[in-house]
Chain A
């Protein structure tokens, strides 16, 4: 059994994108987890913001739920801009 808690680490890069999962660290508390994550995952100037979340707090979809969870969105083409045809005269939209 681990002495320290496992935290999942999410880093937002400079480019203004969403926080992205990069891995995990062990820490006794959230502050320590933030600092360890900073030392471990942003050594090469990779981030401007870090989130840490206790791994136990994450609820994830199961691998075998892929079909019911994600396949139904495959045929909802009307959610994508390219579904809609406009005459060229309308210009860029």
Chain B
């Protein structure tokens, strides 16, 4: 059980960090979205994600029981301790890059939370079930945007192809699995990464087909591994901004 507990903490941090970093990138769109309606939508998705991150962190903090709370997990860990997938930390780029990032992540997130809704760990099942309602909507929205941009104008199609090309390589990290995931899946606590990857592939193929977009070959091993804290250089800068106040004023109460 001790093993399981450490595994579980690690797993919760991955879930929390994915939601947190994705939410942080969405905050960067504030005031810069291509339409007012999108301004609302992006902030809505961001709010959902940061809220989910808080739920995962709170559970992780309880299990850690080392005096750190959810805020300290979010704002006081360095990039090597962050466990998010490489995809979500990538810069926003243009709206096609952001759409590609969101859709590829949402599809994974949707299938992961679907599986976790049936977790034998009741707390995980509850957090996942609540998040799943939100993420179902995220996926519907980002999928529709993939279609609009992929099958819109010639320019939007070129941009969408470039956007997918830009971030596709990070899907290896997104879909890969390690011993922790395997042990937790075997215990009925975590999601089966192989099943999630297969479901993800089917969703991506379906939406890309509707958008008349080719599905790239599966991404190959990419050296870095977000799950082990081996990130691209973008994460450190993102954290420097996100964690600024907590780092500059460690004794402060906000």
Contacts and interface: CB of A to CB of B under 8 A. Distances in A.
A22 interface: no
Contacts, number: 24
B144 A39 contact: no
A36 interface: yes
B186 interface: no
B88 to A, nearest CB: 21
A35 interface: yes
B232 interface: no
B141 interface: yes
B30 to A, nearest CB: 15
Nearest to B42: A39
Contacts of A36: 37, 40-41
Contacts of B41: 35-36, 39
Contacts of B141: 35
A4 B44 CA distance: 21
Given A25-B37, A26-B37, A32 B144 contact: yes
Contact of B144 (A4, A25, A31, A40): A31
A91 B37 CA distance: 55
Contacts of A31: 144
A52 interface: no
Contacts of A48: none
Interface residues of B, number: 10
B124 to A, nearest CB: 25
Interface string A7-43: 0000000000000000001111001100110011001
Give the interface centre of B37, B41, B140, B148 by most chain A CB atoms within 10 Å: B37
Contacts of B140: 35
Contact of B35 (A26, A35, A40, A43): A26
A28 B149 CA distance: 12
Contacts of A32: 37, 144
B104 to A, nearest CB: 20
B44 A39 contact: yes
Contacts of B36: 26
Contacts of A40: 37, 40
Contacts of A25: 37
Contacts of A35: 41, 140-141, 144
Interface in A31-83: 31-32, 35-36, 39-40, 43
Contacts of A43: 44
Given A4-B35, A26-B35, A39 B40 contact: yes
B182 to A, nearest CB: 38
Nearest to B144: A31
Interface string B4-43: 0000000000000000000000000000000111001100
Nearest to A43: B44
B145 to A, nearest CB: 9
B148 A28 contact: yes
Interface of B: 35-37, 40-41, 44, 140-141, 144, 148
